[in-house]
Amino acid sequence: MAGPLLEEQLIKPKHDWQDLTSKIVKKLKLKYEPVGIYLVPAHHSERYEKFFETIPRPIGKLTYCQAVETVRGSTNYSGLPQPPDILRLKAEDFLCAAGAANLGLYELPQSIKNGERDFLLRRFYSLETSKITRQMIPHLEPGSISEVIIFKLSKAPAEPQVVLVFGLPAQILSLEGPYLMKKGGRLNIDLLGTCGVCSEMTVSPLLNRKMNFSLLCGGARSHAFHDPAEMGAGIPAEEFPELVENLLNRQNIPMRQTLPDNLK
C-alpha cells in the first residue's frame, strides 16, 4: 500500500515564481501575468488531496479557457463572488468535453473522436479527414489526470508543470530568441487553431517538452479571450526560469504596439 508523501516530494515550488513573474511582466509589458498549470495524476490522487482541498472550485461548469481567463483576472467565469487567484477543476466542472478529454480527465466523446461532429459542422469535406485531424490533436491518456490546478504564476501553490503566457504577437514572439539562446536551432510549432489553450498551449508543451505557440481557437475566442490581437505560448515550467534569464540578458528587440501615424 502506498504511504503518504511529503509536500516537498510532491508539489512544493522550487523556484521564486513571484520574482520570475515580476521580471517577465515588466520586461515584455504584459497586460496579464502568466498562468501556471498543475495536473494532478489520477494514480494515487488521494495522496494529493490534502495539498489542494482548500482551493475553490467553480460554481457551475466552465471551459478550461474560461478558467484560465478567470484566474488571470480578466473576466470572472467561476461563479465565485471574487475572481480567484487559484482555481481547482475536476472532471464534472468542465463545460467543454474536448478540453477535459485533451487534458486527460476522461475519454473523448465518440462523436468527436470519430470525426463525426466536426464533419457534420462542415469543418471538413470528409469524415475520414475529420477523424485523422482529431486524432492528431495532442492529448493525454484518458483517465490519467484527476483534476487541474490553475493559478496566477506569482501565487503558485505548487511547482507548475506548464506556464501559459498571453500577449500581443510582438510580445509572444519576443520569447522565441531567448528560448533558443543557449540551445540554438529553430522552433517547429505544433499548431492547428483547434483546442488552442488546452491542447496547443498545455498538452503539447508537456508531451513534446518544448515551448509551443498558439493563435488560440474559435472556442477560446468565443467563450473567453475576446481580444482579437491576443495569442499565447505554452512553456514547460522547468524551462521557464532560464527563458526569463535569457530574456533579460538578450539585446532588446523593438516592439511596436501602436500603428505609426501614416498608417492610421
What's the pLDDT score for residue 263?
Answer: 52
What's the pLDDT score for residue 114?
Answer: 78
CA-based nearest residue to 17, from 164, 126, 160, 200: 160
Q: Answer yes or no: are the C-beta atoms of 48 and 86 closer than 8 Å.
A: no
- Top-confidence residue, 189 or 115: 189
Helices (H), the chain: 7-10, 17-28, 49-52, 64-72, 97-102, 110-113, 116-120, 127-135, 169-173, 176-180, 204-208, 218-223, 240-249
Q: Compute the average pLDDT of residues 146-161.
A: 97
Among 64-73, 92-101, 164-173, 252-261, the least confident range = 252-261
Whole-angstrom distance, CA of residue 198 vs CA of residue 69: 12
Whole-angstrom distance, CA of residue 83 vs CA of residue 75: 8
Whole-angstrom distance, CA of residue 16 vs CA of residue 263: 42
Q: Answer yes or no: are the C-beta atoms of 52 and 151 closer than 8 Å.
A: no
- Name, in order, each residue with C-beta under 8 angstroms of 51's C-beta and a sequence gap of 6 or more: 7, 10, 11, 157, 158
What's the pLDDT score for residue 7?
Answer: 61
What's the pLDDT score for residue 68?
Answer: 98
Give me the sheet containing 162-167, strands edge to edge.
Answer: 86-90, 145-152, 35-41, 162-167, 231-236, 212-214
Q: Answer yes or no: are the C-beta atoms of 179 and 243 closer than 8 Å.
A: yes
Give yes or no for residue 149 having a pLDDT over 90: yes
- For 204-248, write each residue's pLDDT tens digit: 999 999 999 999 998 899 999 989 999 999 999 999 999 999 999
33: cell is 501575468
Give yes or no for residue 254 having a pLDDT over 70: no
End-to-end, the C-alpha distance of the chain in Å comes to: 68
What's the pLDDT score for residue 116?
Answer: 78
CB atoms within 10 A of CB 239: 16
Q: Which residue has the cell 510582438?
A: 170
What's the pLDDT score for residue 118?
Answer: 75
pLDDT band at 151 (very low <50, low <70, confident <90, very high): very high
What's the pLDDT score for residue 259?
Answer: 58
- For 105-146, write each residue's pLDDT tens digit: 999 888 887 777 777 677 878 888 888 888 888 999 999 999
What's the pLDDT score for residue 161?
Answer: 97
Q: Compute the average pLDDT of residues 85-109.
A: 95
- For 43-80, write each residue's pLDDT tens digit: 988 888 888 999 999 999 999 999 999 999 999 999 99
CA-based nearest residue to 34, from 194, 213, 207, 156: 156
CB atoms within 10 A of CB 62: 23
Q: Compute the average pLDDT of residues 152-166.
A: 97
What's the pLDDT score for residue 262?
Answer: 59
147: cell is 483534476
Domain-by-domain residue ranges, the chain?
A: 15-251
What's the pLDDT score for residue 1?
Answer: 43
- The single-letter DSSP state of residue 62 is B
Full-model pTM: 0.90
Share of the chain above pLDDT 90, in %: 69
Question: Taking all residues of the chain, what is their mean pLDDT, rounded to a whole number?
Answer: 90
Instruction: List, as one string, the DSSP characters of 143-167.
Output: TSEEEEEEEEGGG-SS--SEEEEEE
